[in-house]
Amino acid sequence: MNYSSKIDFFGFNIDNLSMRESLDTIINSIRSKNNFHHVALNVAKLVKSRKNPLLRESIQSADMISADGAGIIYGMRLLGLEPKGRVAGIDLMHNLLSEAEKYGFTVCFLGATDDVLFRMLSYYKLKLPNLRVVGFYNGYFRREEEMSIVNEIASLNPSIVLVGISSPRKEIFIKRNKNKLNAKFVMGVGGSFDIVAGKTKRAPVWMQSIGLEWFFRFLCEPKKMWKRYLVTNTVFLFMLLKSLVYWNATKKHRG
Protein backbone atom coordinates (compact mmCIF):
# COMPACT_ATOMS: atom_id res chain seq x y z
CA MET A 1 0.00 0.00 0.00
CA ASN A 2 1.63 3.23 -1.15
CA TYR A 3 0.47 6.79 -0.48
CA SER A 4 2.78 9.33 -2.08
CA SER A 5 0.90 12.64 -1.95
CA LYS A 6 3.01 15.47 -0.49
CA ILE A 7 2.47 19.21 -0.09
CA ASP A 8 5.35 21.70 -0.02
CA PHE A 9 4.70 24.11 2.86
CA PHE A 10 7.49 26.59 3.64
CA GLY A 11 10.14 24.13 2.49
CA PHE A 12 8.72 21.08 4.26
CA ASN A 13 7.22 18.22 2.26
CA ILE A 14 4.18 17.43 4.38
CA ASP A 15 2.60 14.04 3.74
CA ASN A 16 -1.00 14.69 2.77
CA LEU A 17 -2.39 11.59 4.45
CA SER A 18 -5.36 10.80 6.64
CA MET A 19 -4.82 9.17 10.02
CA ARG A 20 -5.61 5.72 8.57
CA GLU A 21 -3.27 6.25 5.62
CA SER A 22 -0.51 7.42 7.96
CA LEU A 23 -0.92 4.31 10.12
CA ASP A 24 -0.92 2.02 7.07
CA THR A 25 2.30 3.60 5.82
CA ILE A 26 4.01 3.25 9.21
CA ILE A 27 2.87 -0.34 9.75
CA ASN A 28 4.05 -1.32 6.28
CA SER A 29 7.42 0.27 7.01
CA ILE A 30 7.79 -1.58 10.33
CA ARG A 31 6.93 -4.85 8.65
CA SER A 32 9.50 -4.12 5.95
CA LYS A 33 12.09 -3.46 8.69
CA ASN A 34 12.84 0.03 7.45
CA ASN A 35 14.52 2.70 9.56
CA PHE A 36 11.56 5.10 9.46
CA HIS A 37 11.51 8.55 11.07
CA HIS A 38 8.27 10.49 11.62
CA VAL A 39 7.85 14.17 12.56
CA ALA A 40 4.62 15.86 13.65
CA LEU A 41 4.93 19.47 12.44
CA ASN A 42 3.22 22.29 14.33
CA VAL A 43 3.47 26.07 14.11
CA ALA A 44 5.99 26.43 16.96
CA LYS A 45 8.32 23.86 15.41
CA LEU A 46 8.03 25.41 11.95
CA VAL A 47 8.83 28.91 13.24
CA LYS A 48 11.72 27.73 15.44
CA SER A 49 13.26 25.91 12.49
CA ARG A 50 13.81 29.22 10.68
CA LYS A 51 16.62 30.07 13.12
CA ASN A 52 17.69 26.56 14.07
CA PRO A 53 19.39 24.76 11.16
CA LEU A 54 19.72 21.48 13.10
CA LEU A 55 15.99 21.45 13.84
CA ARG A 56 15.17 22.24 10.22
CA GLU A 57 17.51 19.54 8.91
CA SER A 58 16.01 16.96 11.26
CA ILE A 59 12.48 17.72 10.10
CA GLN A 60 13.41 17.80 6.42
CA SER A 61 15.26 14.50 6.67
CA ALA A 62 12.24 12.68 8.14
CA ASP A 63 10.57 9.94 6.12
CA MET A 64 7.13 11.26 7.01
CA ILE A 65 5.98 14.73 8.10
CA SER A 66 2.42 15.02 9.41
CA ALA A 67 0.42 18.21 9.79
CA ASP A 68 0.04 18.43 13.57
CA GLY A 69 -1.80 21.49 14.78
CA ALA A 70 -4.73 23.49 13.47
CA GLY A 71 -2.44 26.38 12.55
CA ILE A 72 -0.66 24.28 9.93
CA ILE A 73 -3.97 23.09 8.45
CA TYR A 74 -5.50 26.59 8.36
CA GLY A 75 -2.28 28.01 6.92
CA MET A 76 -2.22 25.46 4.12
CA ARG A 77 -5.83 26.16 3.26
CA LEU A 78 -5.23 29.92 3.28
CA LEU A 79 -2.54 29.43 0.65
CA GLY A 80 -4.89 27.43 -1.55
CA LEU A 81 -3.55 24.03 -0.59
CA GLU A 82 -5.82 21.08 0.19
CA PRO A 83 -4.73 19.08 3.24
CA LYS A 84 -6.79 16.00 4.08
CA GLY A 85 -6.79 16.98 7.73
CA ARG A 86 -4.82 17.08 10.93
CA VAL A 87 -2.79 14.10 12.14
CA ALA A 88 -2.04 15.08 15.73
CA GLY A 89 1.06 13.47 17.22
CA ILE A 90 -0.66 12.25 20.37
CA ASP A 91 -3.55 10.72 18.41
CA LEU A 92 -1.12 9.02 16.06
CA MET A 93 0.77 7.67 19.08
CA HIS A 94 -2.41 6.25 20.65
CA ASN A 95 -3.52 4.64 17.40
CA LEU A 96 -0.06 3.29 16.63
CA LEU A 97 0.21 1.64 20.05
CA SER A 98 -3.16 -0.03 19.48
CA GLU A 99 -1.82 -1.36 16.18
CA ALA A 100 1.41 -2.41 17.90
CA GLU A 101 -0.55 -4.51 20.38
CA LYS A 102 -2.47 -6.13 17.54
CA TYR A 103 0.61 -6.94 15.45
CA GLY A 104 2.98 -7.75 18.31
CA PHE A 105 5.37 -4.87 17.64
CA THR A 106 7.76 -4.09 20.49
CA VAL A 107 7.84 -0.58 21.94
CA CYS A 108 10.38 1.53 23.80
CA PHE A 109 9.60 4.85 25.51
CA LEU A 110 12.20 7.58 26.04
CA GLY A 111 11.31 10.81 27.79
CA ALA A 112 9.67 12.58 30.74
CA THR A 113 10.35 11.75 34.41
CA ASP A 114 10.25 8.35 36.09
CA ASP A 115 6.95 9.23 37.76
CA VAL A 116 5.34 10.20 34.45
CA LEU A 117 6.68 7.06 32.77
CA PHE A 118 5.29 4.78 35.47
CA ARG A 119 1.88 6.46 35.39
CA MET A 120 1.78 6.29 31.59
CA LEU A 121 2.80 2.63 31.57
CA SER A 122 0.10 1.88 34.15
CA TYR A 123 -2.45 3.51 31.86
CA TYR A 124 -1.39 1.44 28.86
CA LYS A 125 -1.21 -1.72 30.95
CA LEU A 126 -4.94 -1.35 31.54
CA LYS A 127 -5.87 -0.09 28.08
CA LEU A 128 -3.54 -2.29 26.02
CA PRO A 129 -2.69 -5.27 28.25
CA ASN A 130 -0.86 -7.18 25.50
CA LEU A 131 1.33 -4.29 24.39
CA ARG A 132 4.95 -5.48 24.34
CA VAL A 133 6.93 -2.73 26.12
CA VAL A 134 10.61 -3.72 26.08
CA GLY A 135 12.12 -0.60 27.63
CA PHE A 136 11.50 2.85 29.09
CA TYR A 137 13.99 5.60 29.93
CA ASN A 138 13.91 8.94 31.73
CA GLY A 139 14.30 11.84 29.30
CA TYR A 140 16.34 14.02 31.65
CA PHE A 141 19.73 12.56 30.89
CA ARG A 142 23.05 14.36 30.50
CA ARG A 143 24.76 14.62 27.12
CA GLU A 144 27.54 12.27 28.25
CA GLU A 145 24.90 9.62 29.10
CA GLU A 146 23.30 9.72 25.67
CA MET A 147 25.30 7.02 23.91
CA SER A 148 24.85 4.60 26.79
CA ILE A 149 21.07 4.98 26.54
CA VAL A 150 21.13 4.75 22.74
CA ASN A 151 23.21 1.57 22.87
CA GLU A 152 20.91 0.02 25.46
CA ILE A 153 17.84 0.78 23.35
CA ALA A 154 19.60 -0.63 20.27
CA SER A 155 20.27 -3.88 22.15
CA LEU A 156 16.50 -4.30 22.63
CA ASN A 157 15.89 -4.25 18.86
CA PRO A 158 12.57 -2.37 19.26
CA SER A 159 10.00 -2.06 16.51
CA ILE A 160 8.98 1.40 17.75
CA VAL A 161 10.80 4.09 19.74
CA LEU A 162 8.71 7.02 21.01
CA VAL A 163 10.70 10.04 22.17
CA GLY A 164 8.85 12.26 24.64
CA ILE A 165 11.33 15.12 24.92
CA SER A 166 10.66 18.78 24.18
CA SER A 167 11.63 20.53 20.94
CA PRO A 168 14.15 21.13 19.52
CA ARG A 169 16.09 18.69 21.70
CA LYS A 170 14.14 15.61 20.61
CA GLU A 171 14.48 16.38 16.88
CA ILE A 172 18.22 16.92 17.22
CA PHE A 173 18.53 13.75 19.33
CA ILE A 174 16.66 11.71 16.72
CA LYS A 175 18.66 13.13 13.81
CA ARG A 176 21.89 12.29 15.63
CA ASN A 177 20.86 8.80 16.69
CA LYS A 178 18.11 7.41 14.47
CA ASN A 179 20.58 5.18 12.61
CA LYS A 180 21.99 3.90 15.91
CA LEU A 181 18.78 3.04 17.76
CA ASN A 182 18.23 -0.16 15.78
CA ALA A 183 14.51 0.65 15.60
CA LYS A 184 12.10 0.14 12.72
CA PHE A 185 10.22 3.35 13.53
CA VAL A 186 11.16 6.45 15.54
CA MET A 187 8.78 9.28 16.38
CA GLY A 188 9.05 12.37 18.56
CA VAL A 189 5.91 12.84 20.65
CA GLY A 190 6.80 15.88 22.76
CA GLY A 191 4.63 16.24 25.85
CA SER A 192 2.33 13.32 25.00
CA PHE A 193 3.68 11.21 27.88
CA ASP A 194 2.63 13.94 30.35
CA ILE A 195 -0.89 14.00 28.91
CA VAL A 196 -1.32 10.21 29.04
CA ALA A 197 0.01 10.18 32.61
CA GLY A 198 -2.49 12.85 33.64
CA LYS A 199 0.16 15.43 34.51
CA THR A 200 -1.00 17.76 31.72
CA LYS A 201 -4.57 18.18 30.53
CA ARG A 202 -5.54 18.05 26.88
CA ALA A 203 -8.12 20.42 25.45
CA PRO A 204 -11.73 19.20 25.23
CA VAL A 205 -12.62 17.64 21.90
CA TRP A 206 -14.76 20.62 20.89
CA MET A 207 -11.78 22.96 21.32
CA GLN A 208 -9.57 20.58 19.34
CA SER A 209 -12.12 20.47 16.52
CA ILE A 210 -12.17 24.26 16.04
CA GLY A 211 -8.42 24.76 16.37
CA LEU A 212 -8.29 26.15 19.91
CA GLU A 213 -6.12 23.48 21.52
CA TRP A 214 -3.28 26.01 21.73
CA PHE A 215 -5.57 28.44 23.60
CA PHE A 216 -6.46 25.75 26.13
CA ARG A 217 -2.76 25.14 26.78
CA PHE A 218 -2.29 28.88 27.25
CA LEU A 219 -5.14 28.98 29.80
CA CYS A 220 -3.58 26.05 31.70
CA GLU A 221 -0.04 27.48 31.74
CA PRO A 222 -0.23 31.23 30.92
CA LYS A 223 3.17 32.16 32.39
CA LYS A 224 4.91 29.40 30.47
CA MET A 225 3.03 29.60 27.18
CA TRP A 226 2.20 33.28 26.56
CA LYS A 227 5.52 34.20 25.00
CA ARG A 228 5.65 31.08 22.85
CA TYR A 229 2.23 31.66 21.35
CA LEU A 230 2.54 35.43 21.05
CA VAL A 231 5.87 35.21 19.23
CA THR A 232 5.38 32.07 17.13
CA ASN A 233 1.80 32.81 16.10
CA THR A 234 2.71 36.37 15.11
CA VAL A 235 5.71 35.23 13.06
CA PHE A 236 3.65 32.48 11.42
CA LEU A 237 0.88 34.93 10.53
CA PHE A 238 3.45 37.25 8.94
CA MET A 239 4.88 34.32 6.95
CA LEU A 240 1.42 33.42 5.68
CA LEU A 241 0.52 36.98 4.71
CA LYS A 242 3.83 37.43 2.91
CA SER A 243 3.31 34.20 0.97
CA LEU A 244 -0.29 35.11 0.20
CA VAL A 245 0.73 38.52 -1.19
CA TYR A 246 3.46 36.90 -3.30
CA TRP A 247 1.06 34.21 -4.55
CA ASN A 248 -1.59 36.79 -5.53
CA ALA A 249 1.00 38.99 -7.24
CA THR A 250 2.34 36.03 -9.21
CA LYS A 251 -1.17 34.95 -10.18
CA LYS A 252 -2.03 38.48 -11.33
CA HIS A 253 1.17 38.74 -13.37
CA ARG A 254 0.51 35.41 -15.08
CA GLY A 255 -3.09 36.35 -15.72
Q: Which residue has the higher pLDDT, 169 or 251?
A: 169
At 104 the three-state DSSP class reads: coil
Q: Which residue has the higher pLDDT, 244 or 27?
A: 27
Q: Which residue has the higher pLDDT, 187 or 217?
A: 187
Annotate 10-43 with b (16+ C-beta within 10 A) or e (fewer). bebebbbbebebbbbbbbebbeeeeebbbbbbbb
pLDDT recorded at residue 249? 58
CB 28 within 8 A of CB 81: no
For residue 191, what is the DSSP state? Answer: T
Kindly list the domain boundaries of the chain, sorted by start residue: 6-209
Q: Which residue has the higher pLDDT, 213 or 7?
A: 7
Average pLDDT over residues 175-203: 92
Average pLDDT over residues 239-251: 77
pTM of the model: 0.90
The span from the first CA to the last CA of the chain, in angstroms, equals 40
Contacts 24+ apart (CB under 8 A), 200-209: 202/90, 208/88
Average pLDDT over residues 150-173: 95
Percent of the chain residues past pLDDT 90, beyond the cut: 74
* CA neighbours closer than 13 Å in the CB half-sphere of residue 120: 28
Give the tens place of pLDDT for each residue, 77-113.
999 999 998 999 999 999 999 999 999 999 999 999 9
Cis peptide, bond prior to residue 168, ω within 30 of zero: yes
Q: Which residue has the higher pLDDT, 206 or 173?
A: 173
Q: How far apart are CA 211 and CA 209, in angstroms?
A: 6
pLDDT recorded at residue 204? 76
Per-residue pLDDT band for 28 (boundaries 50, 70, 90) equals: very high
pLDDT-wise least confident of 39-43, 227-231, 245-249:
245-249
Give the tens place of pLDDT for each residue, 212-232.
676 667 667 767 666 777 788
Length of the chain: 255
Q: What's the chain's average pLDDT?
A: 90
Percent of the chain residues past pLDDT 70, beyond the cut: 87
Inform me whether the pLDDT recorded for 173 exceeds 70.
yes
